């Protein structure tokens, strides 16, 4: 065994993918409602993405930010066109790195040390990101933690002080089982941060790039964050992350404060540009089929609750989630689990159609009919 044993894997060995389907090495087909953890939002091997990446690989695989190339500017401009409340973007490689940069920006911008984060939030595995993660088991593994971070329940307005640099939150808490909060919560939080001179950070590593039916969650309910972090779907699987930065913050950034060798590399930017072009046309599908998926899932016997938005849904079950996940896999459907026991997560490609939903709910119904109720969920 040459890979470090840190990932729990499904009994699934993949050979290839196309749109919402993947095939294993034995040639068996699966309906993918997990998308490699919310990454493959344009569907597997979308021809527009494949073409853009292949062309760029043949032209210039890499050059760092010391030299400009037109595609980098074009791709960044397209991202900002979708995010008119923001002034500039900083590119890096992973969600955790984007959050590290956002936390640093907030602290430097305000000159304050403290951060308020949410119980149940997940922000990545690097030192700062894990320290802001509101799930104790992950923080415990990573001690000693970065100081100055406190936690409040998601959905409750936190007390801020003159030391609070930032409030960071996932607008839909994915790992915690796809929980979100009412519009008034986001509006009140925005007002409070503005009044207190605190930077509001939305971690949109999962909600960003169309997953909830709008390109970003920021902008929803008339609320824009000051910093938005993006990763996962932004490059359709080519590693890339970004921080969208407000004008007030961008104006104060000095040369040399932020950087990453691979950030905004040519292949990643080609993938991002092509991804944005595809996702733009898929947003109505996310809204419509997302509603249909939620409605049909709610009606399945053994589903207690459906949470989340668009194609970021958590189904609270009466049965054990890992057992249901395995049983679905045996019937050719891939779903995720969550940190909350009893919840399966649906994070499909944004191309999912009504026909796929019908297949999923039919299969889920069969599985739940046979599944014993979980002790926890009863
Ligand atoms: N933020 C959120 C909301 C996430 O779901 C994740 C990963 O699952 C991260 C940050 C970390 O991203 P990465 O694994 O790319 O570092």
Q: Ligand 1: does its nearest atom lie under 6 Å from the Cβ of 130?
A: no
Burial class of 25 by CB neighbour count within 10 A (0 to 12, 13 to 18, 19+): exposed
Best mutation site among 34, 35, 92, 95 for ligand 1, i.e. most ligand atoms within 8 A of its Cβ?
95
Measured from the Cα of 94, ligand 1's closest atom is 15
Q: Ligand 1: does its nearest atom lie under 6 Å from the Cβ of 231?
A: yes
Report the alpha-carbon distance of residue 91 to residue 94 in Å, rounded: 9
Work out the pLDDT band at 5, boundaries 50, 70, 90.
very high
* pLDDT of amino acid 378: 40
* pLDDT of amino acid 257: 97
Q: Ligand 1: does its nearest atom lie under 6 Å from the Cβ of 96?
A: yes
Residue 199: how many CB atoms within 10 A of its CB?
Answer: 26
Report the alpha-carbon distance of residue 42 to residue 52 in Å, rounded: 13
CA dihedral 236, 211, 76, 59 (to 10 degrees): 10
- Which residue minimizes the CA distance to atom 7 of ligand 1? 124
The two most distant CA atoms of the chain are separated, in Å, by 61
Distance 138 CA to ligand 1 centre (A): 13
Report the alpha-carbon distance of residue 194 to residue 177 in Å, rounded: 29
Whether residue 158 is predicted with pLDDT greater than 50 in this model: the reply is: yes
Give, to the nearest 10 degrees, the angle between helix 354-370 and helix 321-330: 120
The three-class DSSP label of residue 103 is helix
Best mutation site among 231, 239, 242, 347 for ligand 1, i.e. most ligand atoms within 8 A of its Cβ?
231
Measured from the Cα of 175, ligand 1's closest atom is 5
Whether residue 376 is predicted with pLDDT greater than 60 in this model: the reply is: no
* pLDDT of amino acid 377: 46
Report the alpha-carbon distance of residue 206 to residue 183 in Å, rounded: 19
* pLDDT of amino acid 306: 98
Tell me the per-residue pLDDT of 327-364, one tens digit each, with 9 for 90 and over.
999 999 999 999 998 999 999 999 999 999 999 999 99
Distance 246 CA to ligand 1 centre (A): 22
Q: Ligand 1: does its nearest atom lie under 6 Å from the Cβ of 174?
A: yes
Nearest-Å Rg of the Cα atoms of the chain is 20
Distance 204 CA to ligand 1 centre (A): 9
The three-class DSSP label of residue 44 is strand
Q: Ligand 1: does its nearest atom lie under 6 Å from the Cβ of 338?
A: no
CA dihedral 220, 201, 250, 41 (to 10 degrees): -60
Distance 130 CA to ligand 1 centre (A): 10
Report the alpha-carbon distance of residue 23 to residue 28 in Å, rounded: 5
- With residue 96 as reference, give the H or E element that holds it: helix 95-110
Q: Ligand 1: does its nearest atom lie under 6 Å from the Cβ of 211?
A: no
DSSP one-letter code for 94: S
| Cα 215 from chain centroid (whole Å) | 12
Report the alpha-carbon distance of residue 366 to residue 371 in Å, rounded: 9
Distance 258 CA to ligand 1 centre (A): 20
Report the alpha-carbon distance of residue 258 to residue 91 in Å, rounded: 10
Tell me the per-residue pLDDT of 112-157, one tens digit each, with 9 for 90 and over.
999 999 999 999 999 999 999 999 999 999 999 999 999 999 999 9
Q: Ligand 1: does its nearest atom lie under 6 Å from the Cβ of 203?
A: yes
Whether residue 370 is predicted with pLDDT greater than 90 in this model: the reply is: no
Which residues, 6 or more positions from 4, have their beta carbon under 8 angstroms from its beta carbon?
A: none
Burial class of 169 by CB neighbour count within 10 A (0 to 12, 13 to 18, 19+): buried
DSSP one-letter code for 144: S
Work out the pLDDT band at 1, boundaries 50, 70, 90.
confident
Q: Which phi and psi angles does 348 have, rounded to 5°?
A: -75, 170
Burial class of 175 by CB neighbour count within 10 A (0 to 12, 13 to 18, 19+): buried
Lowest model confidence (mean pLDDT) among 42-56, 227-241, 294-308, 364-378: 364-378
Q: Tell me if 279 sits within 8 A of 209, measured CB to CB.
A: yes
Report the alpha-carbon distance of residue 216 to residue 210 in Å, rounded: 6
Q: Ligand 1: does its nearest atom lie under 6 Å from the Cβ of 205?
A: yes
Of 311, 308, 307, residue with least CA distance to 283: 311
* pLDDT of amino acid 132: 98
Work out the pLDDT band at 375, boundaries 50, 70, 90.
low
Q: Ligand 1: does its nearest atom lie under 6 Å from the Cβ of 123?
A: yes
- Which residue minimizes the CA distance to atom 12 of ligand 1? 95
Best mutation site among 206, 225, 268, 339 for ligand 1, i.e. most ligand atoms within 8 A of its Cβ?
206
Tell the residue number behind the tokens 């095939």, with chain if given.
Answer: 23
What is the pLDDT averaged over residues 248-266?
A: 97
Work out the pLDDT band at 372, boundaries 50, 70, 90.
confident
* pLDDT of amino acid 46: 98
Q: Can you list the domains of the chain with their CATH numbers? A: 14-32+282-377 (3.90.1150.10), 47-279 (3.40.640.10)
Report the alpha-carbon distance of residue 360 to residue 88 in Å, rounded: 40
Q: Tell me if 189 sits within 8 A of 224, measured CB to CB.
A: no
Residue 188: how many CB atoms within 10 A of its CB?
Answer: 14
Measured from the Cα of 173, ligand 1's closest atom is 3
Tell me the per-residue pLDDT of 219-239, one tens digit each, with 9 for 90 and over.
999 999 999 999 999 999 999
Tell me the per-residue pLDDT of 270-319, one tens digit each, with 9 for 90 and over.
999 999 999 999 999 999 999 999 999 999 999 999 999 999 999 999 99
Tell me the per-residue pLDDT of 168-217, one tens digit each, with 9 for 90 and over.
999 999 999 999 999 999 999 999 999 999 999 999 999 999 999 999 99
- Which residue minimizes the CA distance to atom 11 of ligand 1? 124
């Amino acid at each position: 065994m040459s890979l470090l044993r840190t990932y729990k894997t499904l009994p699934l060995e993949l050979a290839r993918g196309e749109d919402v389907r993947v095939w294993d090495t034995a040639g068996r087909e699966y309906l993918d409602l997990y998308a490699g953890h919310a990454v493959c939002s344009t569907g597997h091997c979308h021809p527009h993405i494949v073409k853009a990446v292949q062309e760029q690989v043949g032209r210039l695989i890499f050059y760092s930010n010391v030299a400009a190339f037109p595609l980098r500017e074009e791709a960044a401009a397209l991202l900002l066109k979708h995010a008119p409340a923001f002034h500039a973007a900083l590119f890096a490689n992973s969600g955790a790195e984007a959050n590290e940069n956002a936390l640093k920006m907030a602290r430097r911008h305000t000159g304050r040390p403290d951060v308020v984060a949410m119980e149940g939030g997940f922000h990545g595995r690097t030192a700062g990101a894990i320290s802001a993660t509101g799930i104790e088991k992950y923080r415990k593994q990573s001690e000693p933690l970065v100081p100055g971070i406190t936690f409040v329940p998601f959905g409750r307005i936190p007390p801020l002080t003159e030391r609070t640099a930032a409030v960071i939150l996932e607008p839909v808490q994915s790992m915690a089982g796809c929980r979100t909060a009412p519009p008034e919560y986001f509006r009140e939080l925005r007002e409070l941060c503005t009044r207190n001179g605190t930077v509001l950070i939305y971690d949109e590593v999962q909600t960003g790039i169309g997953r909830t039916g709008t390109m970003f969650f920021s902008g929803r309910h008339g609320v824009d964050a000051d910093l938005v972090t993006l990763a996962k779907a932004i490059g359709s699987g080519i590693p890339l992350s970004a921080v969208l930065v407000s004008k007030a913050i961008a104006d104060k950034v000095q040369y040399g404060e932020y950087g990453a060798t691979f950030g905004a590399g040519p292949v990643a930017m080609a993938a991002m540009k092509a991804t944005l072009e595809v996702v733009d046309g898929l947003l109505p599908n996310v809204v419509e089929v997302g509603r249909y998926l939620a409605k049909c899932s709610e009606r399945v016997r053994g589903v207690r609750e459906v949470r989340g938005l668009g194609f970021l849904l958590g189904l609270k079950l009466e049965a054990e989630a890992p057992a249901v996940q395995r049983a679905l896999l045996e019937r050719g459907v891939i779903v995720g689990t969550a940190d909350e026991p009893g919840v399966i997560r649906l994070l499909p490609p944004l191309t999912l159609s009504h026909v796929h939903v019908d297949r999923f709910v039919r299969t889920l119904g069969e599985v739940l009919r046979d599944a014993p109720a979980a002790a926890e969920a009863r």
